[in-house]
Structures are given as structure tokens and as C-alpha cells.
Structure 1
Amino acid sequence: MATGLHIDLNADLGEGGALDAELLALVSSANISCGAHAGDESDIRVALQLAKKNGVCIGAHPSYPDRANMGRVAMKMSADQLQQSLLEQLTYLQNLAHDAAATVHFVKPHGALYNQAARDLTLARQVARAVKSFDASLTLVGLAGSQLLRAGHEAGIKTCAEAFVDRAYQADGSLLPRSCDGAVIEDTEVAMQQAMSIITEQRVQTHDGKMIPIVADTLCVHGDTPQALAFAQALHLCLGDTGILIRACH
């Protein structure tokens, strides 16, 4: 059954997780660590090689330089410090990708940097400026409806709106912080209901039961969660049953 609908499916990889190979057989885009929050050079090289082998679109996944907290705690950095860190991370991944005869197509910030840039336009502009100065042909991936996407549009670079299969939403469209109960969805049926609602109805139910509009080009499954593989497999079945294609949007 063909519907004409399609969606990109991405996962965070190269972070030292045990499921990279299995996930890279299921996703259409891979957000590969740049080494600042998780993963070592070997993890990243393997992820790049597997992504290329599986025809998966490769993206850089830079973060605050904070391996102790896996990039999930906000850091105070000047604009120049952040720009330098991001450019170093993007250069690092690009060089490893070159070694694998692979190409980096997009940039998706990680963790606290992603969440802060979603709501802080000044920070979002700093991220967008760094991406544009590194390679203006790269796509910037950010939370649907976020300031990061606005900053990307302002900078004149391509953007891609993201939603999450495995995270709960707040009424303003932001993600429920991981410190809150229920922030990470662990039930496959709930995750699939959320994914299909986003794709087919362009809306999502918040953690307090409200329905809010959302338009997304790509869905994320976090590769470091125990449910990641089950969610990706279930999503393939759900989409296949409804004739929705999985393909990269970059």
C-alpha cells in the first residue's frame, strides 16, 4: 500500500553502544559522535564504515566537550570557545569520514547543546554560524519548531525538523527533561503510537495528555537506550504495514 508519505529515521551512534551494527541496518541517517561526549576513535570509525556499507546518510553529532556527563549538562562557554569546539569536532569527524571514503551530510547537536539551542536563539545562532562557516552545504537538524531551526533559516542553510520516538513532550513542544519521571518512553506500543501520530497526523500527545501540532522530517531513536533496537524494528513494521517509506531527508 503506497501512501506517498516518507520519513527519515535517525539514531545517535559511534558512542560506544553495543547496538550500532543492528541499528545501522534499520535507520536511514546516523548521528555519529564527534568524540566530545562519548565514543572513542575506534567506535567512530566503525560507525562510519557501517553507515557507508548500509547506505546510511552520515551526520556529525557535536556536543559540549564534557565526556564526564555525556554532554547532557549545560556548560558556560563564550561564543568564541563554542565556535572553536564545534569546528574542532566537525573537522575531527570529517577527517575520519574521509579515511572511510564517506561523506558527512548534516549536523545535529547533542544533549544539552541541542536542548539549549532549541530555546535560546542567541546560542542557536552561534551553532548555526559554526555549521555555516565549516560547510554551508550541510543540513542543520533541530527540534521541530525550535529556535535552532529558526537560526538555520536565518543563516541561509538547509534545516531538518526532528521529532522523537522515545521521548515525552511538554506543552510548548520541548522535550520533558530526563530528570522527570516518564521523560524516556520505554513501552514499544506507546512509542509506536507517538511515532505514527507524528507522521500521519502531525501532532503529538504531551506528558500531561494534551495534543499539540508538530511537523517533522526525521524521527530519532536514541541508540544508547535498551529499547532502541526494538523500537527501530517495530517502527519498520508499522511503516511497512501503512506504506510509509523510510528514507534520508538530507
Structure 2
Amino acid sequence: MSQTELEELISRLLGKAYTRIVAGNDAETLACLQSWASSCATLSSVDVLGSLPLSCSDIRKEAQRTHQQGKALLVNTSNCSAFACSAIRLGADVCFERLEDTCGSSAKGIVAISLPRKGSAWSVRIQEHIDRLPRVDVGKQDALLLRYRAYEKLWHESSDVALAVAAYLVAHPVVKHVYYPGLLRNQNDSSQRDQLNACAPSTLQGGFGPYIEVALAKKLSAKNPASTNDLLCYRGPLDGRKVYRLDCRHMSVDFLIGHLEVLLNA
């Protein structure tokens, strides 16, 4: 079955892949995909950028480990896109990308599922399942293609902003720890490499992403304007401290630092 232009783009970015853009509830689609894969092989799954705290997964190392155990590796690239991580080239057996994260609300419920073109016997069986899923029509995919291509520029620009803001946060007395894939040295000892992010330069492309997580030494004041408090989204507790996430997309360095000054110094 031939691929659309969007499917070909994602396939090329991931590295010699076969991609299908399908419609449906993304959580249900992922659950079905995991079920199909598990019926063919023992499955291990990982997000490129995930967990608490935020860190970059070593896809190549994870693929080697799971393959040695006779398992297949499913990689979720939704929070970075195929532009930022060539997961198939790094050894993934299945890739899952929620296009709403890159293309906006117009892509709600639409996902890209990709497999290596030269995969194992079980991946051939998975492809048969994928080809039976409701495929998004070509007209809709063409509209999403423009948005998807635009995300590459957004990833580059927001990564540059996030790196500058992360450097500011590292020096702030209220911030106990900054978790960002672009900080390749341990915050508490600059001579030591941060093991959480040691793989980031070989896993991510075009920057380290727009997301920063911070552990704070104080509670955020409820008296701040909602627009300021909304900058930091609570993620959960870690080592007795609250961890918050900052999304640097569509914002400038000056805007973010100015509002963070108000928020953190209140």
C-alpha cells in the first residue's frame, strides 16, 4: 500500500520506516497496538522524553537491552516528534506519535504508527493490523502536513529558548534542581556528567526540546496573576519536593524570565 506525503515524511525522519496515519482515540489505538505487539512478542515501551523528573531516554541502549531479552521496543515520540528523534534508526521496533502534540487540536485523535521496513516477522503481522485501522483521508493529511513541517521550526526555536531559561533557573536560589535534557552537567557538581541526560546529544536532533522541569524550595504564591501561575504546571512530588513543568513553546526568553522573576520571588 502506497504512503501519503505526510507518511513518507515521518518514515524518512524516523529512518527507513513504514508509516500509517490512522484515526481514532489515541489512548485506545496505543492500547490496541500494545496488545497486538504483545501477542507477537514480549513488548517493552518507553517515551523519548518522559517520566518524573523529565529526562531523555537512551533509545539505542534500550533497544539493545530489550532485543537481548528477546523483546520488542515500542517508542512513543509524541512529545518530541520524528523531527527530533529518529527512533527507528536508533533501534525501535514500533513508533507511536500523537499528532495533536505537533499539529494542534485539528489532529485530535490522529496518530502515526511506524515500523521498520526491514523488521522481524512479528512486525509484518503488526503491519497487517495497522493497515486495517481507519486511515485518515489524503485531504486531511495534506492539511496536517503543513502544520507538521512547521513544528520543526518551532522545536528548534523553543529549544533555544528553553536552554537559555534553564540556565537562568539553575542560578536561581528558589530552584533546588532543574531537569532539562540540554543540561549535560550535574547541577550539584559541574565536573560530573548528568546521567539522566548523558544520551541526549545522540538521541535528540535540532535541540533538546521546549520542556523544563524544576523542583522548588518553596510553595508558589496563590496571589500571583493567573497568567503567571499558569506558566508552571504541577507534575508531582519527588524527593519531598514539588516538581513543576514549564513549556517554552511560543514564548520568548525575556517574557519567560520576566514572569518567572515575579513568580519565584513572590
User: What is the TM-score when the length of structure 1 is the normalising length?
Assistant: 0.27
Higher relative contact order (CA 8 A, sep 6+): 1
- Give the number of the structure whose alpha-carbon radius of gyration is greater: 2
User: What is the TM-score when the length of structure 2 is the normalising length?
Assistant: 0.26
Structure (1 or 2) with the greater strand fraction: 2
